[in-house]
């Protein structure tokens, strides 16, 4: 958190104390809503799961995700869910703080979360909730020790490992062997905690999976499950000579060059894996994440806790599989910024099963606090979509904003800012001599025709650009955060496909 935000927080705290002299100066004491009945919450987060790789979405014909399908069929499917930064650590920090990356300052995978940051589970703790965290933290990789906001802690350093992981359980390091699979282990830890927790307290459980982060290693029971299945190649995977409808001329140069790089289809991960196998492993690794969801739901149903519990499932960012010749995330194309978001449970709570409004990861904290009967902290950028789930029609945003800051370890992708409405997306690149982008998402959902040169769209481009800079100005984002090289940063400048 920068000095300006710290100063504002201090002023707000002093003002609150002056108005309520009998209360302690504790910023965690949020105002409670009248007649609110706190809900229990389980928040399940996966890694690199794009929005349309779920069985019911019919994007991948052979993919079976019965538990995600159940959540969508019997709960709510947030059809337009987005992240504010498509990268693990920034997105996870935005979920916990409810803030944009330029505000919480976790702009890459090496940045630490500021000690002054407040995570929404801290507010839950202060209001009487029992809280627990299971899995990948990945905001500063120097340790896996317990973080604030959680009564019970199960985690690992950095990305962890799929097989035979080492977990930090409430400060004690435990090494597992015998081909223990991390998705199964975290699920077991979470369901055991749900069984044994204090029944007299409301609870919040945060289950944060490593899956399906690259390199993809499925559970042994799922290896080869989709070996005979062919991937679906996107329309923009190949230049226009293979697809005349793809306006390859107006694709930015940095995108064309990235095709032959660590994050490109022509030299992916320096030719260490082929695209079809990469695709297969991803879908097989996803199967255990779906099974994990099923086990959590079963535990809540069997224990009778589901009537007063809402379960979220979300991805921390999207992932490209050949669109525009790219793999991975970071960029502002749809497959990178859109994520799955499902909500399930709670007796007679969910009245809107198909949410159309644009929801972002910064909205998770305010929404869960709302479910706990707490009002949103003033320093959160997001807003609660709990009323939307209940069938209400609150005033809602008409556009979302996106940011990604250039990283030295992965210099192929430039600094990106974007603004997206229900119909259009404007993408602006900073620090490179290249073309910006405008897409008509309503008529061109695959983003094949960049309209940045279109004469009839110039007024719209100017308006969206002005909106983007107004957002940055209003939220303190006009300065690009600079960070020193992270530990282990790689500087292979002379090597084509620098990573």
- In the chain the domains, ranked by start, together with CATH numbers, are 35-232+274-395 (3.40.720.10)
- Could you tell me the two tokens for 161? 């490992």
75 and 351 Cβ atoms separated by less than 8 Å? no
pLDDT in tens, 60-81: 999 999 999 999 999 999 999 9
pLDDT for residue 10 is more than 90: no
Q: What is the pLDDT of residue 485?
A: 64
Q: What is the pLDDT of residue 481?
A: 86
**What are the C-alpha distances in Å from 72 to residues 302, 312, 342, 355?**
20, 11, 6, 11
- Is residue 192 classed as helix, strand or coil in its secondary structure? helix
84 and 403 Cβ atoms separated by less than 8 Å? yes
Categorize the per-residue pLDDT at 242 as very low, low, confident or very high, splitting at 50, 70 and 90. Answer: confident
- Is residue 274 classed as helix, strand or coil in its secondary structure? coil
pLDDT in tens, 422-479: 999 999 999 999 999 999 999 999 999 999 999 999 999 999 999 999 999 999 999 9
Q: Cβ of 496: how many Cβ atoms within 10 Å?
A: 10
216 and 284 Cβ atoms separated by less than 8 Å? yes
pLDDT for residue 490 is more than 90: no
* Bridge partners, 403 (sequence order): 417
Mean pLDDT of 39-65: 98
pTM metric for this prediction: 0.92
Q: What is the CA radius of gyration of the chain?
A: 22
């Amino acid at each position: 958190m920068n000095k300006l935000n710290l100063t504002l927080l201090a002023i707000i705290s002093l003002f609150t104390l002056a108005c309520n002299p009998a209360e302690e100066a504790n910023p965690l004491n949020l105002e409670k809503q009248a007649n609110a009945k706190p809900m229990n919450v389980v928040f399940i987060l996966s890694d690199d799961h794009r929005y349309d790789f779920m069985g019911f979405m019919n994007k991948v014909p052979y993919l079976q995700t019965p538990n995600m399908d159940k959540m969508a069929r019997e709960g709510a499917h947030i059809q337009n869910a987005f992240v504010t930064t498509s990268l693990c650590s920034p997105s996870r920090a935005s979920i916990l703080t409810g803030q944009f990356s330029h505000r919480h300052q976790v702009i890459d995978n090496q940045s630490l979360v500021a000690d002054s940051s407040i995570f929404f589970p801290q507010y839950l703790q202060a209001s009487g909730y029992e809280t627990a965290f299971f899995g990948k933290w990945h905001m500063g990789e120097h340790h896996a020790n317990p973080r604030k906001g959680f009564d019970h802690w199960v985690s690992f350093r950095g990305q962890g490992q799929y097989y035979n992981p080492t977990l930090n359980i409430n400060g004690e390091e435990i090494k597992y062997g015998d081909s223990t699979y991390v998705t199964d282990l975290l699920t077991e830890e979470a369901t055991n905690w749900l069984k044994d927790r204090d029944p007299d307290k409301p609870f919040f459980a945060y289950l944060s999976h490593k899956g399906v982060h690259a390199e993809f290693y499925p559970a042994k029971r799922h290896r080869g499950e989709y070996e005979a299945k062919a991937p679906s190649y996107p329309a923009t995977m190949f230049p226009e000579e293979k697809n005349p409808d793809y306006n390859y001329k107006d694709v930015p140069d940095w995108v064309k060059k990235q095709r032959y790089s660590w994050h490109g289809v022509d030299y992916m991960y320096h030719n260490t894996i082929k695209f079809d196998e990469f695709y297969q492993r991803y879908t097989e690794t996803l199967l255990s994440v779906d099974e994990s969801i099923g086990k959590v739901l079963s535990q809540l149903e069997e224990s009778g806790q589901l009537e007063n519990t809402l379960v979220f499932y979300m991805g921390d960012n999207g992932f490209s599989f050949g669109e525009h010749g790219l793999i991975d995330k970071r960029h502002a194309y749809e497959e990178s910024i859109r994520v799955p978001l499902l909500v399930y449970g709670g007796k007679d709570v969910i009245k809107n099963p198909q949410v159309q409004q644009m929801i972002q990861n910064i909205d998770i904290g305010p929404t869960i606090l709302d479910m706990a009967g707490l009002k949103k902290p003033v320093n959160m950028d997001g807003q609660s979509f709990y009323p939307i789930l209940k069938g209400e029609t609150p005033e809602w945003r008409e556009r979302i904003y996106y940011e990604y800051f250039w990283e030295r370890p992965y210099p192929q992708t430039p600094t990106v800012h974007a603004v997206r409405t229900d119909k259009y997306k404007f993408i602006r690149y900073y620090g490179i001599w290249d073309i910006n982008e405008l897409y008509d998402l309503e008529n061109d959902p695959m983003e094949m025709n960049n309209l940045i040169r279109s004469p009839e769209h110039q007024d719209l481009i100017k308006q969206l650009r002005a909106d983007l800079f107004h957002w940055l100005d209003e939220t303190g984002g006009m300065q690009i955060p600079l960070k020193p090289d992270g530990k282990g940063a790689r500087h292979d400048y002379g090597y084509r496909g620098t990573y």
